[in-house]
Amino acid sequence: MTARKTYEQLRSARWMLPDDQRSFGHRSRTMQMGYAPEDWQGKPIIAVINTWSDAQPCHMHFRERAEWVKRGILQSGGFPMELPALSLSENFVKPTTMLYRNMLAMETEELLRSHPVDGAVLMGGCDKTTPGLVMGAVSMGIPFIYLPAGPMLRGNYAGKTLGSGTDGFKYWDERRAGTITQEEWQGIEGGIARSYGHCMTMGTASTMTAIAEAMGLTLPGASSIPAADANHQRMSAACGRRIVDMVWEDLTPDQIITPAAVDNAVTVAMATGCSTNAIIHLIAMARRAGVPLELDDLDRIGRTTPVLANIRPSGSTYLMEDFFYAGGLRALMKQLGDKLDPTAITVTGKPLVDGLDQVKIYNDDVIRSLSNPVYHEGSLAVLKGNLCPDGAVIKPAACDPKFHRHCGPALVADSYAEMKKIIDDPDYPLTPDTVLVLRNAGPQGGPGMPEWGMIPMPKALLKLGLRDMVRISDARMSGTSFGACVLHVAPESYVGGPLALLKTGDMVELDIPARSLNMLVSEEEITARRAAWVAPTRHYERGYGFMFSGHIEQADKGCDFDFLTTEFGGKTPEPAI
């Protein structure tokens, strides 16, 4: 443990302490807000980065929950300073929150840099908020704790349990197939999201908060607490109390996010049956911490880590509320045993594995053992081949096993609008072995790599009673999705990746056990097609999108901006005061 800092060594002291005119201004303006000198003198100032907004149902409780964090900060002798940040609602933000994840990362980093703060509590949970907040705070480098929003309660309608996203997709297919009524559909609409908190399936939100916990960035057990459970208030206050000590201890993120912590995060992610989106965010977060995580590392750990969390969509029945009652993420970590690296520490300053031996598993059908997994391998597989030289991702646990090895003719659409015509035509000539291909949906092409990868089943096949088929795209898919969907094809088609050269009718071969994805087209023909390919124009001529198009990296690199990566340029200086 490092020696405790003195007050004079804190960054906020540079603003608040000197006997000069600038500091006079900082102090007098703090007094303008109603505070007396004894409120801040000699105390660390803690940022509470709050992603609450009126357009963010998953974080609806954060306006009130921030007060609990502040209470904890005050109890521990800190001075709280709440700073609002982009709320990135997965539902409302278009064309996709992925376009703005890096904007939240930049905002977080610069909010922390430009204000007189010594540490931070980051309040997030809805999909992109976790990686966005963490990436920014890691690059800034001051002590922080991640406070996960917690999953919402289980959905409920007509005696049935409903899962976020997953059941929306499922019942939409049933509605299109004509097996449920308009009234039932409306009942599902009113029952599927019935409390604040993030999606309660093991989608991107639950996966990312689990990853944050496994990386050591939350208090132990924090990520599984349902948003509406009083444990969440208590955890929020505890975050406030702990961050003040972290500042005195100078427990900076580089001491926590080590290669061991990243390995633990990947292992836990795989065992949760993790969202495909997590791959991109894990890579981006690790790289910000200077840990060079690659797709191959993810596949390697995935091959030896079974899925243990029996939560939808990889599991069949349970949701995050059940996961919490069964023991939560700490119980899952206990089941992983020596697969976790004991050297990694958390925000507590103690090892992640500390105390796991005392953790109880209350339902071993929800949190399975290594000998009775939900799926024998990790949830994700990384594919390579002449269609995806830099990689692509599939979730074998969430697709019909008959598609694990598949060869079929491609049906290619250049845009989502074009694809929609195909899937909405009940007489479109396609067969169960057709491989649906959507391109121009990657980081540049989408733009922002929208969640279009779970292409809806074509009506023509739904009529035949089919519910799955092989689909390929350079898009992402929602973490609550399912099906034989190959995603994140890199390089993407929009920048001339080989997916751009595929034609309708070409045979495509998917082999998940062999980790390969190829078009059965000769090298000569591919070369000829490449020579004839014309690059599309970029989407934006001004604004944020212009900057995005110029600097976004491909999916296998985590979709960070090239100029935000740790290895880019020199160290960012502290602001002059």
Interface region with Mg ion, contact rule CB under 5 A, candidates 127-135, 394-402, 510-518, 540-548: 127-135
Rounded Cα–Cα distance for residues 577 and 574 (Å): 9
Name which of 188 and 517 has its Cβ closer to Mg ion.
Answer: 188
CA distance 171 to 38: 58
204 counts as binding Mg ion under rule CB under 5 A: yes
- Taking CB under 5 A as the binding criterion, the range among 125-133, 181-189, 311-319, 404-412 that sits at the site for Mg ion is 125-133
Q: How far is the CB of 33 from Mg ion (least distance, A)?
A: 37
Strands 381-385 and 388-394: antiparallel
> By C-beta, is 203 or 396 nearer to Mg ion?
203
**Nearest approach, Cβ of residue 47 and ligand FES (Å):** 23
When CB distances are held under 5 to 8 angstroms depending on the partner's kind, the choice from ligand FES, Mg ion, none that residue 478 binds is Mg ion
Q: Residues 145 to 184: which contact ligand FES by CB under 6 A?
A: 164
Strands 155-157 and 160-162: antiparallel
What does residue 179 show for φ and ψ, rounded to 5 degrees? Answer: -95, -5
User: How many positions of this chain bind Mg ion (CB under 5 A)?
Assistant: 5
Q: How far is the CB of 211 from ligand FES (least distance, A)?
A: 14
265, HSE (Cβ side, Cα atoms, 13 Å): 32
CB of 130 to ligand FES, least distance (A): 10
Q: How far is the CB of 229 from ligand FES (least distance, A)?
A: 17
Name 268's Cβ contacts closer than 8 Å, sequence gap at least 6: 210, 211, 213, 214, 329, 332, 333, 336, 340
- Only one residue has tokens 């976020």, namely 164
Contact range with ligand FES by CB under 6 A, out of 198-206, 319-327, 374-382, 415-423: 198-206
Quickly tell me which residue has 């061991």 as its tokens: 260
Neighbours of 338 (CB within 10 A): 7
Beta carbon of residue 478, minimum distance to ligand FES (angstroms, whole number): 8
Residue 554 Cα to chain centre, angstroms: 16
Interface region with ligand FES, contact rule CB under 6 A, candidates 199-207, 262-270, 458-466, 519-527: 199-207
- What single string gives the DSSP state of each residue in 132-198? HHHHHHHHH-S-EEEEE--BPPPEEETTEEE-TTHHHHHHHHHHHTT-S-HHHHHHHHHHS--SSSB
When binding is defined by CB under 6 A, the residue of 137, 205, 279, 344 that contacts ligand FES is 205
Residue 198 contact among ligand FES, Mg ion, none, beta carbon within 5 to 8 Å by kind: ligand FES
Q: Tell me the site size for ligand FES, rule CB under 6 A.
A: 10
Q: How far is the CB of 105 from ligand FES (least distance, A)?
A: 18
For 302, the token pair is 């995935």
SS3 sequence, 272-294?
A: HCCCCHHHHHHHHHHHHCCCCCC
Could you give the CA distance from residue 12 to residue 17 in angstroms, rounded to a whole number?
A: 8
Binding flag, residue 189, ligand FES (CB under 6 A) = no
Q: Which two tokens stand for residue 441?
A: 């949906």
Binders of ligand FES among 50-69, rule CB under 6 A?
Answer: 58
Q: At what angle do helices 295-304 and 277-288 cross, to 10 degrees?
A: 120
If one asks whether residue 372 binds ligand FES (CB under 6 A), the answer comes out as no
Taking CB under 6 A as the rule, does residue 322 contact ligand FES? no
Choose among ligand FES, Mg ion, none what residue 200 binds, the Cβ cut-off being 5 to 8 Å by kind.
none
At closest approach, how far in Å is the CB of 223 from ligand FES? 13
Residue 492's binding partner among Mg ion, ligand FES, none (Cβ under 5 to 8 angstroms by kind) is: none
On the question of a cis peptide bond just before residue 447, with omega within 30 degrees of 0, the verdict is: yes
For residue 384, what are the β-bridge partners? 516
Ramachandran angles phi, psi of 518, nearest 5°:
-135, 150
Least distance CB 471 / Mg ion (angstroms): 18
> CA separation (Å) from 538 to 100, 440, 495?
18, 11, 10
Q: Segment contacting ligand FES (CB under 6 A): 15-23, 195-203, 496-504, 568-576?
A: 195-203
State the binding string over 79-108 for ligand FES (x if CB under 6 A, else -).
-----------xx-----------------
Q: Which is nearer to ligand FES, 78 or 197 (CB)?
A: 197
Residue 126: which of ligand FES, Mg ion, none does it interact with, CB under 5 to 8 A by kind? ligand FES
What DSSP string runs through 365-433? TTB--TTS-SBSS-S-EEEEETTEEEEEEE-GGGS-GGGSEEEEEEEEESSHHHHHHHHH-TT----TT
**465 φ/ψ sector (left φ>0, alpha ψ -120 to 50, else beta):** left
Q: Contact letters (x/-) for ligand FES, 108-127, by CB under 6 A?
A: ------------------xx
User: Which of 87, 86, 101, 97 has its CA nearest to residue 58?
Assistant: 87
Q: Is 127 an interacting residue with respect to Mg ion (CB under 5 A)? A: yes
Per-residue x/- track, 459-488, Mg ion (CB under 5 A): -------------------x----------
Q: For the chain, how far is it from start to end, CA to CA, in angstroms? A: 31
The listed partner (Mg ion, ligand FES, none) that binds 170, CB under 5 to 8 Å by sort, is none
Which of these segments, 72-80, 197-205, 461-469, 514-522, binds ligand FES (CB under 6 A)? 197-205
CB 283 within 8 A of CB 211: no
Which tokens hold the place of 373? 């997994």
CB of 172 to Mg ion, least distance (A): 15
Q: Tell me the closest approach of the beta carbon of residue 31 to ligand FES, in angstroms.
A: 39
> Which position among 43, 198, 288, 459 is part of the footprint of ligand FES (CB under 6 A)?
198
Residues that bind ligand FES (CB under 6 A): 58, 90-91, 126-127, 164, 198-199, 203, 205
Residues that bind Mg ion (CB under 5 A): 90, 127, 203-204, 478
